[in-house]
Structure 1
Amino acid sequence: MSRDERARQLLEVAWRLAREEGADALTLPRLAECAGVTKPVVYDHYASRAGLLAALYQDYDRRQTARMDEALASSADNLRAKAKVMADAYVTCVMSQGREIPGVVAALAGSPELDRIKRDYEREFMARCRKVLAPYAPGALSAARLWALLGAAEALSFAAAAGELGAAQARVELADLIRALVERPQAR
């Protein structure tokens, strides 16, 4: 198995482990056991649990970004369409990952180093949102509105993944919220 194939296998096993046993079970020895490899193989890919958590979050973010970018490229050029695509992509990505992503996100927040990684990805996401939504805004989109968009996207998606509301409802509410944040004039 090539190094890239092994890395992909380890990520898939780590996601399964998080889904079945929770993020607390994500230790390098447990990953080695579940993947059927020796500990040195896992440690060769991830120097620490923090490295594994960072790799999981990066994997999730890559998929989320690709899904959203692909859908945005083929969507109509209006706010309603862009908001729908963004909401659909965000919720769908979280739903496809299941209940394990909230656990990984919570584990990331437990370490300053990992929290920085998460914040960097959040800022990149908000920059993409600003670029896509700016043409439809009556003024510049404030950082506060972009943080609100991100918080709502995460909260609605995580609630849907936990079964607290339907995915379709989360998508509709998020698209409505995105439009409201963009269309409302900025306070002076």
Structure 2
Amino acid sequence: MSSDEKVVPRKRLSRDLRRRQLLDVAWGLVREEGTDALSLGYLAEQAGVTKPVVYDHFETRTGLLAALYQDYDARQSLMLDEALKCCEASLASRAGVIAQAYVDCVMSQGREMPGVSAALAGSPELEALKRDYEQPFLDRCHHALAAFAPSGTIGKAGMRLLVGAAEALSQAAAVGELPPEQAKQELSAAIVAMVERQ
């Protein structure tokens, strides 16, 4: 290097920004190459960091997949919370908002999320994550809908029905089996019917 050349130090990212960068790169890898290609070493290479940086954030491949699942869930919760704040207090409106937020979030992740879920299938981490993140979603939906139920509450079976219908219809939209708008309409109708039977 000549005396005229200057070494420009690379800006170090904060821990939170580095994690965000790694998750964004990981989502891109899953989208482009599938979850089978996702390893901590490959993520480090694609993100332009050393392997210890990636291991420090995720520890294992399962830890990385779990972090992707958590990232997706946080986005879904935010979308639902924002939508519910702006919606009118009617069963049809709230059912429509829940359906739209759920399907839109799945569509925003395209086919990546089913791959992440499949890669975690059978792992204790996935079961723990599902329990940790499904219940707050159920609680939000229950809070938004229970006042419209004839009994004033919604049973566990009804809430499980909501989640099952939401997953099935949104995944059908994500893989092109249904147009997203149809998935939203069907899910909204299913939510209304479920609440009215309570």
For normalisation by structure 2, the TM-score amounts to 0.90
| Equivalent residues of 1:50, 1:114 under 8 A apart | no
- The one of 55, 62, 67 aligned to 1:55: 67
> What is the letter of the counterpart of residue 106 of structure 2?
V
TM-aligned CA deviation for residue 5 of structure 1: 1.2
**Is there any run of 5+ residues in structure 2 with no aligned partner, and where?**
1-12
Greater fraction of residues in helix:
1
Alignment of 1:93-112 (within 5 A): 93-112=105-124
Residue 18 of structure 2: aligned partner: 6
TM-aligned CA deviation for residue 109 of structure 1: 2.5
**Is there any run of 5+ residues in structure 1 with no aligned partner, and where?**
none
> What is the letter of the counterpart of residue 115 of structure 2?
G
Residue 74 of structure 1: aligned partner: 86
Residue 146 of structure 1: aligned partner: 159
Q: Aligned partners of 2:150, 2:114: CA distance in 1, in Å?
A: 34
Residue 156 of structure 1: aligned partner: 169
Alignment of 1:84-95 (within 5 A): 84-95=96-107
Residue 170 of structure 1: aligned partner: 183
Corresponding position: 1:24 with 2:36: yes
TM-aligned CA deviation for residue 155 of structure 1: 1.0
TM-aligned CA deviation for residue 105 of structure 1: 1.6
TM-aligned CA deviation for residue 9 of structure 1: 0.5
TM-aligned CA deviation for residue 52 of structure 1: 0.8
Aligned residues: 185
TM-aligned CA deviation for residue 113 of structure 1: 2.4
| Equivalent residues of 1:134, 1:141 under 8 A apart | yes
| Equivalent residues of 1:53, 1:104 under 8 A apart | yes
Q: Aligned partners of 2:139, 2:38: CA distance in 1, in Å?
A: 31
Corresponding position: 1:120 with 2:150: no
> What is the letter of the counterpart of residue 32 of structure 2?
E
> What is the letter of the counterpart of residue 138 of structure 1?
P
> What is the letter of the counterpart of residue 85 of structure 1?
V
Q: Aligned partners of 2:179, 2:156: CA distance in 1, in Å?
A: 29
Q: Aligned partners of 1:67, 1:14: CA distance in 2, in Å?
A: 22
Corresponding position: 1:34 with 2:46: yes
| Equivalent residues of 2:65, 2:116 under 8 A apart | yes
TM-aligned CA deviation for residue 143 of structure 1: 0.7
Pick which of 83-92 and 29-38 moved more. Answer: 29-38
| Equivalent residues of 1:87, 1:153 under 8 A apart | yes
> What is the letter of the counterpart of residue 184 of structure 1?
R
| Equivalent residues of 1:32, 1:39 under 8 A apart | yes
Q: Deviations over 1:37-76 (max 9, x none)?
A: 1111100111111211111111111111111111101100
Give structure 1 regions of 4+ aligned residues with deviation exceeding 6 angstroms.
none
